[in-house]
Structure 1
Amino acid sequence: MRKIGIVGVGNILFKDEGIGVFTVKYLQENYIFEPDIDLIDAGTLGFGLMGYLHDYDHIILIDTISVNDKAGSVYRLTPEQLSGLASYHQTAHEVEVLQMIELTPLTGKMADTVIIGVVPERIDISEIGLTGTLEKTPFLTVISQILKELDRIGIKYKKINDLSVEEVVMKHFGSYNGKLSEKRIWNDNRQQNRS
């Protein structure tokens, strides 16, 4: 049986840099897949990414991509195309992703890999949540591109919920663009009362 993974990469603490992780959480909350696939929050995994690239037959990797284009532009890239982008590796995790993609074939089998890259607007401020530029059309374009990739490899999917990216991020991380979830406010108040 084929092993298929959707891997979200990025640091959720720096706005748009979290889009890969937010995408995986969005898919977990809103879709079911047949046969099952793995939805992987890889965060800033670095060398650990190589294990996924070795062990899986197909990987769809979602990340920011630092290229000179309009914020919110969405790219579908092969590993070879990603390696050819001289301007790509501007953040620490982008460097690690590129290194893993280039090293993995040298150390064994590599998954059929597609990279969905999104040009960020802000990755220089510390806040959980997407900018308005990425939150609407670009985010939905990423989801649509992932579903096309799943069609290509024969995976069926069904939408079971209609939670927004904001609702999903609030549920999983307790905050979105400065707003706290009710649960997080309750927990924070409880901690303060104990002090």
Structure 2
Amino acid sequence: MKILILGIGNILFGDEGIGVHLSNYLKANYSFAPSDPANPVELEIVDGGTLAQMLIPLITSYDRVLILDCVSVDDAQIGDVYAFDFDNIPHIITWAGSAHEVEMLQTLRLVEINGDLPPVHIIGIVPEVIGEDTAFSLSENVKQGAKLMESQAIAYLAQNGITATKIANRDLQEIANLSFRGF
């Protein structure tokens, strides 16, 4: 089985880049291995940025996809985390906080219509800063919520046959400051 963690967001706009920053954080701080060596599972972590439809060939080449992103949610607090399967998006999720999110939602629907969409799980957080001024800094509420996103991502991987081992303790803001370089 092949699993993709896809970090989505625009790293130039603070909290809007949390999906990319968190995917880079996972790369920097964890090593990953199949839970059962007799049942190999491959994992790739990719910075999907704001590429949306350009990601279709990548998405369709995996058996499962975990998307890390920010989401808009009716009556939610900044830093609230929501985890859901793409085929069961809660009605309170509008997923329209920025241009990339609308494009990502449309991209997933397009792949689904074509019958090529693997099971997709989304872990999203309500951001504070979206597209106002160029900034790499993350709000305190999003940094706190990202801890829950991290634990949910690790739990998702464990449910799908991957053991995560913490190998470093680099700070999420440090990672965000360097995300433009890639990991």
Give 1:32-47 correspondences, 5 Å limit. 32-35=31-34, 36-47=42-53
**In the alignment, structure 1 residue 101 sits paired with structure 2 residue 103:** no
Of all paired residues, the percent bearing the same amino acid is: 35
Matches of 1:65 and 1:164, distance apart in 2: 23
**Rounded Cα–Cα distance in structure 1 between residues aligned with 2:133 and 2:4:** 30
Higher relative contact order (CA 8 A, sep 6+): 2
Distance 1:83 1:75, change over 3 A: closer
Mapped to 2, the partners of 1:120 and 1:167 lie a distance apart of 18
Aligned residues of 1:83 and 1:98 also touching (Cα < 8 A)? no
Q: 2:155 aligns with which of 135, 148, 153?
A: 148
| RMSD value, Cα | 1.7
- Residue 20 of structure 1 aligns with which residue? 19
Kindly provide the amino acid, as one letter, of the partner of residue 17 in structure 2: G
Contact 2:78-2:141 at 8 Å conserved across structures: yes
Cα displacement string for residues 35-56 of structure 1 (whole angstroms, at most 9, x for unaligned residues): 4410100000110222233111
Match of 1:131 among 139, 162, 182: 139
1:168 Cα deviation after fit: 2.0
| AA at the equivalent of 1:101 | L
Residues 33, 162 of structure 2: 8 Å contact kept: yes
Q: How many residues align?
A: 172
* Corresponding residue number in structure 1 for 2:29: 30
Distance of 1:171 and 1:122 partners within structure 2: 18
State how far apart, in whole Å, the 1-side matches of 2:122 and 2:18 are.
13
Tell me how far apart the structure 1 counterparts of residues 118 and 157 of structure 2 sit (CA, whole Å): 14
Larger helix share, 1 or 2: 1
- In structure 1, which of residues 162, 169, 176 is the aligned counterpart of residue 176 of structure 2? 169
Amino acid at match of 1:105: E
Larger Cα Rg: Structure 1 or Structure 2? 1
| Structure 2 CA distance for partners of 1:131 and 1:157, relative to 1, 3 Å | same
Q: Normalising by structure 1, what TM-score?
A: 0.82
Question: Which stretch shifts more, 153-162 or 98-107?
Answer: 98-107
Q: Which amino acid aligns with 1:62?
A: L
